[in-house]
Chain A
Amino acid sequence: MKTKKIVQLALFACLSVCIYAVESLIPPILPVPGVKLGLANVITLVVIYVIGTGESLLTLLIRITITTLLFGQVMSFLFSMAGGILSWIVMVLLSKIMDRCNIWAVSVFGAFAHNGGQILIAVAVTRQLAVAYYFLFLVISSVITGVFTGICAKYCIEKAEKIKLFKI
């Protein structure tokens, strides 16, 4: 890996950790585990569209590891990993087939996958199917937060593509 690329990915990873840190200061709106804005996903989307698939997985994994070490509880690593990787797979696949103007929808599907993965882990960990009740809340919150972060990502991607520094 070229030094330039390492620096570039480190910058993106750092950005997403910072966004996550700022977002974690916002108190939860609903008393439902998993309802949050998910702004760090903007960076994942930008890296998927502007840099590449493998690089986006790397930045995602770095972000999850660092944020768990800094702010996480023991349980949250498993949840972040399951949700993060599942949503990454969905977003990479959809980014290949969906029209460029529907980045917001890619983000919503990513949010669905993220929350779906987390609920699966929650059901597995607690061994209670009743926990899946909260998935209904997460579907609604996914649509709202997914559209918001998707629109943020769209504008970031448009700007980022004009920056020559990202083309290595």
Chain B
Amino acid sequence: MKKSTKILAACFSIAAITAAAGIIYLNVRDGNGKYACIFEDGVLVHKIDLTRVSKPYTLEMDGNIILVEKGQISIVEADCPDKLCIKQGAIQDGARPIVCLPNNVVIKITDDVSDVDITTGV
């Protein structure tokens, strides 16, 4: 094995380990947001206070059905072929967003109190 090969292999390993550490850090870090923001085509269409959801309900969007529960939110139905947004499961905190690229829907959780009263979705 050449020296350049070894150096490249080391660099790639470091890159992968750094990325893995980043994922762990973002998930461990306490993202205690309570507002679920649903964006469609880059526009905020719903902002829901998840702590105040008394019983689960669904929101029907263009191509997705979103399940809102106390403390968590998930996509339960989608009209795209790969259904990746459903497999991404429910989110409870601000670590990761749910992304549905075919329908251009993003759901993320923040504790940002600004513009809360756009819609409660209830």
Contact = CB atoms under 8 A, between A and B. Distances in A.
Given A75-B101, A126-B106, A131-B99, A33 B5 contact: no
B4 A102 contact: yes
A33 B99 contact: yes
B26 to A, nearest CB: 7
B101 A31 contact: no
Contacts of A62: none
Contacts of A137: 19, 23
Given A28-B82, A133-B26, A140-B16, A105 B101 contact: no
B113 interface: no
Nearest to B43: A127
Contacts of A131: 97, 99, 106
A126 B39 contact: yes
B84 to A, nearest CB: 5
Interface in A11-33: 28, 31-33
A31 B88 contact: yes
B96 interface: yes
B22 interface: yes
Interface residues of B, number: 32
A134 B4 CA distance: 30
A100 B22 CA distance: 33
Majority secondary structure, A binding face: helix
B2 A101 contact: yes
Contacts of B88: 31-32
Given A32-B84, A127-B42, A137-B23, A101 B5 contact: yes
B54 interface: no
Nearest to A133: B96
Contacts of A73: 80-81, 102
A105 B7 CA distance: 11
Given A28-B82, A128-B97, A75 B104 contact: yes
B45 interface: no
B28 interface: no
Interface in B85-112: 87-89, 95-97, 99, 101-102, 104, 106, 108
18 contacts: A28-B82, A33-B84, A101-B4, A105-B8, A105-B12, A125-B101, A125-B104, A126-B42, A126-B104, A126-B106, A130-B106, A131-B99, A131-B106, A133-B95, A136-B19, A136-B26, A140-B20, A144-B16
Interface of A: 28, 31-33, 73-75, 79, 98-99, 101-102, 105, 108, 122, 125-128, 130-131, 133-134, 136-137, 139-140, 143-144, 147
